[in-house]
Structure 1
Amino acid sequence: MLISESKLRKFTLDIFMAMGCSEDHATLAADVLLRSDLRGIDSHGVARLSGYVRLWEKQRINTQPDIKIVHESYTTATIDGDAGLGLVVAPFAMQVAIQKAEKYGSGWVSVRNSNHFGIAGYHALMAVEQDMIGFAMTNASPLVAPTFSSERLLGTNPMCYAFPAGKYPPVVVDMATSAAANGKLEIAQRAGKQVPEGWLQDNAGNFTTDPFALKSGGALLPLGSDKEHGSHKGFGLSATVDILSGVLSGAGYGPWVPPFVAFLEPPANPPGKGIGHFLGAMRVDGFRPAEEYKADMDNWIARFKSAPTIDADKKVIIPGEPELEAEIDRIKNGIPLVDAVVNDLNELALKFGIDTL
C-alpha cells in the first residue's frame, strides 16, 4: 500500500499529540520517523510507532520531558532526557553540539535517560545542514552476543558519520554495528521469510536463519558474523558505541540497557538511566576553508563513482546514495507500507479515535 508523505505525517503527528506530546515535540518526532520511511529505512519509521505507544502506556516514556544539560564544558555536555522520546531528546542534544561547534569549532554531547531515537542519520544530518561534519550513535537493548559468547550483552548500537560535500549530496555512513539491524528481522517476520545465514545464532551458538530466533534465546551476531569473518571488529565498534553512549553519559549500558518492547521489564538495579546517545558536530572551516574542503569532497566522490566494477550492471555506491534515491522516489510516489504495518497503525487510530489510513 502506497501512502503519501503528507497523509502519513499527519497521522503520525496525531498519534504523538494523542499521547500527550506538545505540538512542537509531536511535529519533531513525526519528522524523525517520516525521514526514516522516506529514506527507505522501513524498520525505523512508522512501523515503530506502536512500540512507542506501548512504552508510553507502560509509563516508560515521558511525553512532557524536562530535557536539560546536567554537566558541561565549553565544547562538551551531558544531557538528561527525563525519559522523553529519543526522537525529541537526540535533536535537542545535536542542537547543543552544533551551538558549541559554532562557537568553539566542535561540540560533543552525551545523553542519558532517553529512549529509542530513530535513525542515526537524521541527527548527524542536522550538522551537515550547518556545513559541519555530524556524528550520531546510540546504544540499544541487548540483542547481540559478543564474539565467542552466547549471552546477549550489546545492542545493534548504530553509528552515523555525515560529511557535507559541494555539488554532490553529503556522504552518509549510517549503519548498525551488528550483522543486521533488529528491524530487518521484524521485516522478515512480517513477510514470513527466512533471513540470511550469518545474521543470527541460536541459543546453542549455531547459525540459524529463523527470524524468530531471538524469542527462543538466540542472539544477533556482531558485524562480521563470526570470528572467522571479523566479528571481533564489529564487537569492537559496538563496544565503542556502548561506552560513548552509556558509560560516558551515565545511561544504562551492556545488559542494563532497557528493552524497546513494553512486555519486557527493564533490568533490575541498572548502573545508569535509560538509553544513551552520543552526538557531535565539527566545523569544516575549523580545519581548512570550507570551499576547499568541498572541492576535494566532490573530487573524492567523483573518483570513487568512476571506479571500474567487476559486474557491468553494478556501480560503486557512495554511502548515502540509496537513501537519497529512495527519498526522491517516495516524496513523489508515496511511502510503501506492508499490510501488517497498516493494520497495526489502524489499530492505533481506533485506540486514539483518529482517522485510519
Structure 2
Amino acid sequence: MYPTFTETKLRTFTEDVFKAIGCSNEHSELAADVLLKSDLRGIDSHGVARLSGYVRLWEKQRINAKPDIKVVHETATTATVDGDAGLGLVVAPFAMQIAIEKAEKYGSGWVSVRNSNHFGISGYHALMAVEKDMIGFAMTNASPLVAPTFANERMLGTNPMCYAFPAGKYPPLIVDMATSAAANGKLEIAQRSGKAVPEGWIQDGQGNYTTDPHALKTGGALLPLGSDRDHGSHKGFGLSATVDILSGVLSGANYGPWVPPFVAFMEPSPNPPGQGIGHFLGAMRVDGFRPVDEFKANLDNWIKRFKSAQTVDSTQKVIIPGEPELEAEANRKVNGIPLVQAVVDDLNLLAERFGVERL
C-alpha cells in the first residue's frame, strides 16, 4: 500500500513550491491545479511526481518563472502564442482561453504555441472548452523518445492528443492518449516500482523488444502506438507526426529530434530550428453545427448504446473513453491520492530545500 494524501495537502504543497521558484500566486495556483487534476484522474505519471522535474529545468534556466506570454500572430479564428519559456502548465491554458474566446465569436478557434514547456495532461486543456459546450482539442509534442516504424533512432515524443466532447446526463467523453505504445511516465512509474514493462512498449539499442523500463538509458527507444509494422505502428507513427507538425512546425517551436528534453541533465540540441516545446489547442462550438441539446442527447444515446455492447467475457464491460479517469477522481477525492514512496521522498527533498511543510 502506498501512502495517501488529501487533494488539499498536495495542492498547497505544490503551490508553495512553484511560488518558491518565483511563480506568481496566479500561475502557481494554475500550475498546481493542472498537476492535481492529473493525480485525481489517476494519471500518476503527469501529476506531482513531475514537480521536481520542473524545478530542475528552472534551475537550468530552461523554465522562466515569470514569463511574458503573448500572441505573436493572429487572425479572426487563429493565433500563435509565444510562451516565453514559461511553464506549459500555464502557457497552454492561456492559449486555450484564446481559442475559446475566438470560438465564442466565430464558431471555432485554433491556437498554436511555441517556446513553451511540458504542459501536463492534454485532458485538462481540452476540458476547458467542454465547460463552454464546445468540443476541445489539445495536443503537444515532446522530447524525442520514440523511434518511427523501422527506425532505431529516437525522433518523436510520446506526442499526446486529446479530444473532449460535452454530453448531457453522462460525463464528457474524453479521448486522451499518447501516440506511443506507452507514455514515458509509465516507464518512470515502473522504474520507481522496480517492475518490468509489457513487451511491445520499448526496444533496446539494437531494436529488439525488451521489458526493461531502464532501456531508454542505454540507447533504447519507446515504440509508436501499435508497437510494430504488423500491428499497425505506422498508424501510431502517422498520428505522432501529425501532432508534431501541428504543435511544432506550424507554431515555430522545435520538432522531431530537436524538441528539448524534459530531463534537466540532458542538454537541448545545438542549433535547434525552433523555440522550445510546441502545443496545438482548439475549440469548436457545438451550436455551430446543431443545437447543443440535440447533440448532447445523441451523444448520450451513443454512450448508452456502446456501454450496452455485448462483450466477449460477461465479467467485462465496454469502457467509454474517460470513464476510468472519472472513477479514479471520484475515489481519490474521498480516499486521497496515493504516491509511491520514491515520489514522496523526492517531494520532501524539495520541501527541505525551499522551506515548505513536508508531506
Length-normalised TM-score, structure 1: 1.00
2:17 corresponds to which letter in structure 1? I
The reply to whether residue 278 of structure 1 matches residue 280 of structure 2 is: yes
| In 2: Cα distance, 1:192 partner to 1:306 partner | 38
- Asked if residue 139 in structure 1 is aligned to residue 150 in structure 2, the reply is no
- How far did residue 352 of structure 1 move? 0.3
Aligned to 1:234: 236
Return 5+ residue gaps in structure 1 as ranges.
none
Hey, what's the Cα distance between the residues in 1 that align with 2:68 and 2:310?
53
Q: Separation in 1 of the partners of 2:209 and 2:113?
A: 35
Aligned positions of 1:185-196 closer than 5 A: 185-196=187-198
- Which residue in the other structure is 1:320 paired with? 322
Residue by residue, what CA displacement relative to the aligned partner does 1:243-299 show, whole Å, maximum 9, x if unpaired?
Answer: 000000000000000000000110000000000000000000000000011110000
* Structure 1 match to 2:46: 44
Could you tell me the TM-score, scaled by structure 2's length?
A: 0.99
Q: For the residues of structure 2 that align with 1:198 and 1:83, how far apart are their CA atoms?
A: 34
What fraction of aligned residue pairs are identical, expressed as a percent? 81
Distance in 1 between residues matched to 2:314 and 2:7, nearest whole Å:
35
Q: State the shift of 1:312 in Å.
A: 1.1
Q: Helix, strand or coil: the match of 1:279?
A: strand
Query: Letter of the aligned partner of 2:67 in structure 1?
Result: P
| 1:20 alignment partner in structure 2 | 22
Structure 2: which amino acid aligns with 1:262? A
Shift of 1:313: 1.0
Select which of 127, 130, 135 maps to 1:128.
130
Shift of 1:338: 0.7
2:71 matched residue in structure 1: 69
Give CA deviations for 1:18-46 in whole Å, capped at 9, x if unaligned.
01000000000000000000000000000
How far apart in 2 are the matches of 1:230 and 1:339? 37
Q: One-letter code of the match for 1:140?
A: A
Q: CA deviation at 1:63?
A: 0.6
Among candidates 162, 181, 184, match of residue 183 of structure 2: 181
Could you give the per-residue CA deviations for residues 298-357 of structure 1, whole angstroms, max 9, x where no partner exists? 000000001111111110000000000000000011000010000000000001011100
Q: CA-to-partner distance for each residue in 1:77-119, whole Å, 9 max, x for gaps?
A: 0000000000000000000000000000000000000000000
Distance 1:102 1:257 in 2: 33
Deviation track 1:147-190 (CA, whole Å, cap 9, x = no partner) reads: 00000000000000000000000000000000000000000000
Distance in 2 between residues matched to 1:305 and 1:160, nearest whole Å: 21
Q: 1:207 aligns with which of 181, 206, 209?
A: 209
Matched, 1:252 2:272: no
1:106 partner letter: S
Q: Report how many residues are paired.
A: 357
Q: Is 1:301 equivalent to 2:303 in the alignment?
A: yes
Looking at structure 2, the residues matched to 125 and 158 of structure 1 have their Cα atoms a distance apart, in angstroms, of: 15
SS at match of 2:148: coil
Q: Secondary structure at the match of 1:71?
A: strand
Equivalent-residue separation in structure 2 for 1:315 and 1:66 (angstroms): 48
Match for residue 9 of structure 2?
7
- Paired AA for residue 72 in structure 1: E
- Is residue 2:293 matched to residue 1:291? yes
Structure 2 distance, partners of 1:313, 1:46, is 34
From 58, 61, 64, give the equivalent of 2:60: 58
Question: Using the alignment, how far apart are the partners of 1:309 and 1:14 within structure 2?
Answer: 47
**Distance in 2 between residues matched to 1:76 and 1:229, nearest whole Å:** 37
SS in 2 for 1:162: strand
How far apart, CA to CA, are the structure 2 residues paired with 1:156 and 1:18?
A: 30
Q: Deviations over 1:179-217 (max 9, x none)?
A: 000000000000000000000011111000000000000
Task: Tell me, in whole angstroms, the C-alpha distance in 1 between the residues paired with 2:210 and 2:309.
Answer: 36
2:222 corresponds to which letter in structure 1? L
In structure 1, which of residues 78, 98, 107 is the aligned counterpart of residue 100 of structure 2? 98
Residue equivalent to 2:348? 346
Shift of 1:140: 0.1
* Letter matched to residue 275 of structure 2: K
Q: Which runs of 5+ in 2 are unaligned?
A: none
- Alignment partner of 1:300: what SS? helix
Aligned-pair Cα RMSD in Å: 0.3
